Amino acid sequence: MRDDLNDTSEDVAHVSLRGLEAYGPFVRLPTIDGVNRFSFAAKQADRQENVPRAVVAAFAQAAMEASVAGESHAVIISLACDFVTDACTGERVEAHVKVVRRTRSLIFLTADLAVGERILLTASGLAKCN
C-alpha cells in the first residue's frame, strides 16, 4: 500500500490547513471522478487515544475550503457535521469533498471523512463567493 502522507510524487501535494498544523501532515491527493481528496495521519489525541471531534470537523471545513480555493475567494459560511465514530491516533483520515451545485455566488458541498471504509463523519457545507 502506498503511503500518501510521505509521498513526494507530483500527484500528491502537501497543504497547510490553518490552525491544524499540530495534527498534520496534511496532503491533497489526486482528484478522482470529481471528488477532491485530502488526507492526514492524526498525531494528537485525548486521554482515550481518540482524535478530538473538533479537529475532525475542522479538517472537514478546511478540506472544503481547499476544494473551492480560487473560486473568487470562496469561504465556507455554513457547515453541518454528523459524527458516526471517532478516529484514533495514528490512523489515516481521508476526506472526500464533492461540489454538489454551483450558483453565481454560492457553492454547495458534501464531504465524507473516513479511515479506510469506516466513515467518521459526513458533512454538508455552503461556500459564498466574494
Cα separation, 1 vs 96, whole angstroms:
19
pLDDT at position 5: 43
Higher pLDDT pick, 28 / 45 = 28
Average pLDDT over residues 47-74: 83
Map grid coordinates 472526500 to a residue: 96
Q: In the sheet that 35-41 helps form, which strands lie side by side, from edge to edge?
A: 13-15, 26-32, 35-41, 92-102, 106-115, 118-128, 75-83
Q: How far apart are the first and last CA of the chain?
A: 41
Higher pLDDT pick, 56 / 44 = 56
Higher pLDDT pick, 98 / 91 = 98
Choices 3.30.565.10, 3.10.129.10, 3.50.50.60, 3.30.1510.10: CATH for 13-128: 3.10.129.10
pLDDT higher than 50, residue 11: yes
Average pLDDT score, the chain: 82
Average pLDDT over residues 40-44: 70
Largest CA distance in the chain: 46
- Which residue from 68, 25, 63 is spatially nearest to 43, judged by alpha carbons? 25
pLDDT at position 4: 44
- pTM for the full model? 0.79
